[in-house]
Amino acid sequence: MAAPRSGDPSGGDQSPSEDRVSPRLTTVGLIGWAIVFAILLAYQGLCLVRANDQWPAFSDLLRAVTRYPIGRWALFGLWLWAGWHFFVRGWHFLLRA
């Protein structure tokens, strides 16, 4: 790998395979995820406040899934998969060869 030239305006300290994401796209993504989590929390809150409603809360769903060992293993696998894809996959510092 060639050393970057001094004064390189293209940001020579980054590898060519890394894509730059615009700040506007990042902001839109963060706002979108904030809306999704706000809706999920509002649903959970409404389900807990209205106990006589026919809609199950997420805690009820998790209780039903984790009742059996296969459900606990499936939830653990989903947790590992989500953690890898959301957090570890972009860490070039820890994954250097």
pLDDT tens digits for range 49-78: 887 878 888 888 899 999 999 999 999 999
pLDDT at 37: 95
Quick one: 67 and 44 in the same domain? no
Does residue 10 form part of some domain?
A: no
Structure tokens at 63: 């209780």
Answer yes or no: is 46 within a domain: yes
Instruction: With 0.75 as the threshold, say if the pTM is over it.
Output: no
**Mean pLDDT over residues 13-29, rounded?**
68
Give the number of domains in the chain: 2
- Would you say residue 10 has pLDDT above 70? no
Q: Is the pLDDT of residue 39 over 80?
A: yes
Give the residue from 11, 26, 24, 4 showing the smallest Cα distance to 90. 26
Which domain, by its residues, includes 46?
24-55
Q: What Å distances lie between residue 94 and 5, 45, 67, 90, CA to CA? A: 26, 38, 36, 9
Residue 11 has pLDDT above 80, yes or no: no
